[in-house]
Chains A and B, each alone.
Chain A
Amino acid sequence: MAGEIRWVDNEEDALGLARESARPLLLDFFKKK
């Protein structure tokens, strides 16, 4: 069954959300096709 992850794509949003939600970050470095 497919799930959906709501990725952020910039540092400002990532750090802001991490601070607000008290959650750690998962950084996915991927190769564009």
Chain B
Amino acid sequence: MGAVTYPSKKVSDYVSEYFVPWRIPFDTANNLLRRYNVVWTPTTIFADRKGTECYRVVGYLPPDVFISYLAMGNAETAFGSHNYPEAAELFDTVASDHPESCLAPEAMYYRAVCRAKATGDDAHLDEAVADLERLFPDSDWLLRTRPWINEQG
């Protein structure tokens, strides 16, 4: 990650704009490894302003793929902080800007959850079901919407 992915301008620009970047050496004497239960490198953790973990990525990813995970981590951090309007926008960015990513159906699911929580309008859940049926009919994220259909039908 340090040799290829983080030096990428696209990645470094995104990291610098949206996060406080903190590098932590994998040293068994480091208490942070135990606190965050990190057992492998590279591990990237997205945490709220107090340091509470909201999302993690384990393993190397090239810049063009990692950029979608940065957007997802940003969205998950807003979601974990109960900032649903902002999280909805960020999940929408993942789904819209990275439609080929394996993260897209997950982002569509959470976009609907955040919109529903932000507005109190469960119609957003119906939109997600329709979008997932159309674009990702084989995704596990469509299966997770089944209770929404049953509850409303």
Contact = CB atoms under 8 A, between A and B. Distances in A.
Band of interface residues on B: 35 or more
B22 A24 contact: no
B16 A27 contact: no
A1 B9 CA distance: 6
Given A4-B12, A5-B12, A26 B49 contact: no
B24 interface: yes
Interface in A1-33: 1-9, 11, 14-15, 17-19, 21-32
Interface of A: 1-9, 11, 14-15, 17-19, 21-32
Nearest to B5: A28
A8 B22 contact: yes
A18 B10 CA distance: 22
B20 A28 contact: no
A29 B42 contact: yes
B1 interface: yes
Contacts of A31: 25-26, 41-42
Contact of B24 (A5, A15, A18, A30): A30
Contacts of B15: 5, 26
B47 interface: yes
B44 A27 contact: yes
Interface stretch (B30-38, B103-111, B118-126, B141-149): B30-38
A29 B8 contact: no
